[in-house]
Amino acid sequence: MTKAWLRHWPEDVPQNIAYPEIPLPEILSTASGKYGSNDAIVFFEKSITYGELDDLSNRFASSLKGLGVKKGDRVALLLPNTPQFLICYFGAMRAGAIVVPCSPLYRERELEFQLNNCGAETIIVLDSLFSLVAPVEERTKIHNVITTALLDLVQDIGETSTRATRSPRTMLLKDLLKEHTDLPPRTAIDPKQDPALFQYTGGTTGTPKAAVLTHYNLVVNTVQFSSWLSTLRNGAEIVLGALPLFHIFGMTAAMNTSIFKGETLVLVPRFDTFEVLSAIQRHAVTFFPGVPTMYIALLNNHRTAEFNLKSVRLCISGGSPLPVEIMRKFEAVIGGRLIEGYGLTEASPVTHCNPVDRPEKIRAGSIGIPLPDTEARIVDIETGEHDLPVDENGELVVRGPQVMAGYWNQPEETRLVLRKGWLYTGDIAKMDEDGYFFIVDRKKDMINVSGLKVWPREVEEVLYEYPAVKEAAVIGVADPYRGEAVKACIVLKEGFRGRASAEEITQFCKDKIAGFKVPTQVEFVEDLPKTSAGKVLKRALNLESRR
């Protein structure tokens, strides 16, 4: 297998790494030993040091042991970006439990499915979200409900919810942390075999399932990504934690990596443009991992120019394709670099990234090259067995020590995506002669126009060049003549609503792409449906179009 990307390998990054075979929480123990008095977390102007975070995580592990939580038990987290997330995440793993992150945006049905599917018996929930847990508690195996208030651990604000609003079995996290000051009993963990995380994902088929990630998977990807960020100084950077930590990208790129490198993580409970702009300026943030919709929102906020964002030296975008035009415009705002990487839940998640050591190695529109000890190929879409030539579109498959053990209780789904040691991503990509990879689109999102393939991302890139377009998503819709037709769903910038027309936009596209790729339908919408991680929900757009 030819690894053309090695010709452009970052000078300060090893191609192969001896990964520590340790439980994931040991990265916090190590950081506490090195940077104990340094701030690990900043939250609403209050800080928690590495020493304090380590101690609180140990206390929570002791609390769980006291509640009878055993190795392999599932502990669910229904929390936004708060210090409690980190405390409970590392504490549960120290107790030998498997962490199951849940989205605070879930509805009752979604939460019930996930809790029953994983078999969780313990849940930690923000008190304002308890109304979501209460109706499903009796229909699941949950028997430990631990609640916490948003600011419980950074200021003494008293109790914010009453026993009347909770079940009799509910406990308060702050009380448990006060009661358990002893070190937890040590739990024997085999990092390569024992799961640390059940991370739910639609995977490549859209069916909710849990990717089983071992301690070793998570440690490896943390070390890989940390090594890649060779221009960031251990113990000295300020990281923006705006990505949701319950999502694997935020968990690895913001949380685990910042802990491993001894950096300060500035937590934002939910993405709000003003709060993010304020946090960057106030704390002189230097590293901002995000998703394209975050950068787009900041670019289009009329107050962005009021803030000094020049402290940001590096942004890494993942989760969904980064439009080249957005990259260029955002770099002009911060003065630093915005580069694209790639990953998926099943790979913990990062597999590719543009090199950060020298600007000339960054390629706009590319997800970059594979991380250390990671291999990638482009194979034919039909069988997935034949390697394709340079610059030819096919399915991206990857292999590396960060790839999951499989899907929980889904042997057939596991066999579909894990074949002969390779993870089949479901993403269509190509590789150029220098070994840089380019995501073309999702395999399932391809539009078939009279037998011709249209990849939505190519059309979206053109739409983002049009001055009136704030956000764009391209989908395929049924067409009696062509089979499928191209439809563009567009959010217009303020000032252009009522002025920009569908005809102008289609004409703009005709000047830049082949006729069969040009949208035959243009719909102006108020906003695009998105996941909690900022990905556009094209399935929801497709459903709307069918109505």
pLDDT per position as a tens digit, 390-429: 999 999 999 999 999 999 999 999 999 999 999 999 999 9
Q: State the Cα–Cα distance between residues 271 and 284, nearest whole angstrom.
A: 18
Structure tokens at 487: 């439809």
Task: Please state, in angstroms and as integers, the Cα–Cα distance from residue 139 to each residue in 97, 104, 108, 125, 166, following that order.
Answer: 22, 19, 11, 17, 16
Torsion sign, CA atoms 449, 453, 457, 458: negative
14-45 pLDDT, tens digit per residue, is: 999 999 999 999 999 999 999 999 999 999 98
CA separation (Å) from 221 to 24, 235, 285, 404?
Answer: 11, 19, 23, 11
Q: What is the DSSP letter of 1?
A: -
Q: Assess whether pLDDT exceeds 90 at residue 162.
A: no
Identify the CATH homologous superfamily for domain 200-442.
ANL, N-terminal domain (3.40.50.12780)
Phi, psi of 177 (to 5 degrees): -70, -30
Report the pLDDT value the prediction gives residue 164, as an integer from 0 to 100.
Answer: 37
In tens, the pLDDT along 323-356 reads 999 999 999 999 999 999 999 999 999 999 999 9
Q: What is the pLDDT of residue 453?
A: 80
Q: To the nearest whole percent, how much of the chain has pLDDT over 70?
A: 96
Of 143-157, 266-280, 284-298, 404-418, which gets the smallest average pLDDT?
143-157
Task: Give the chain's mean pLDDT.
Answer: 93
Q: Which CATH code is given to the segment(s) 448-546?
A: 3.30.300.30
User: Each residue of 477-497: pLDDT tens digit?
Assistant: 998 878 899 999 999 999 999
Rounded CA separation 533/251 (Å) = 11
This prediction has a pTM of 0.88
Query: For the structural domain made of 44-189, what CATH number should be given?
Result: 3.40.50.980
pLDDT attached to residue 155: 60
pLDDT given for residue 481 in this prediction: 78
Q: Categorize the per-residue pLDDT at 206 as very low, low, confident or very high, splitting at 50, 70 and 90.
A: low
Instruction: Determine contact, residues 169/147, Cβ cutoff 8 Å.
Output: no
Q: pLDDT value at position 533? A: 80
Cα–Cα distance for residue pair 507/405, rounded to 1 Å: 49
Whole-angstrom distance, CA of residue 313 vs CA of residue 435? 26
| pLDDT per position as a tens digit, 41-75 | 999 989 999 999 999 999 999 999 999 999 999 99
Tens digits of per-residue pLDDT, 365-377? 999 999 999 999 9
CA distance 328 to 535: 20
Domain assignments of the chain as residue spans, ordered by start: 44-189, 200-442, 448-546
pLDDT band at 207; cut points 50, 70, 90: low
Residue 158 pLDDT level (bands cut at 50, 70, 90): very low
* Alpha carbon 56 to its chain's center: 25
Q: pLDDT tens digits for 255-279?
A: 999 999 999 999 999 999 999 999 9
Burial of 304 (0-12, 13-18, 19+ CB in 10 A): middle
* Segment 462-479, tens digit of pLDDT: 999 999 999 999 999 998
Phi, psi of 115 (to 5 degrees): -65, -40
Alpha-helical regions (H) of 290-429: 292-299, 324-334, 411-417
448-546 matches 200-442 in CATH topology: no
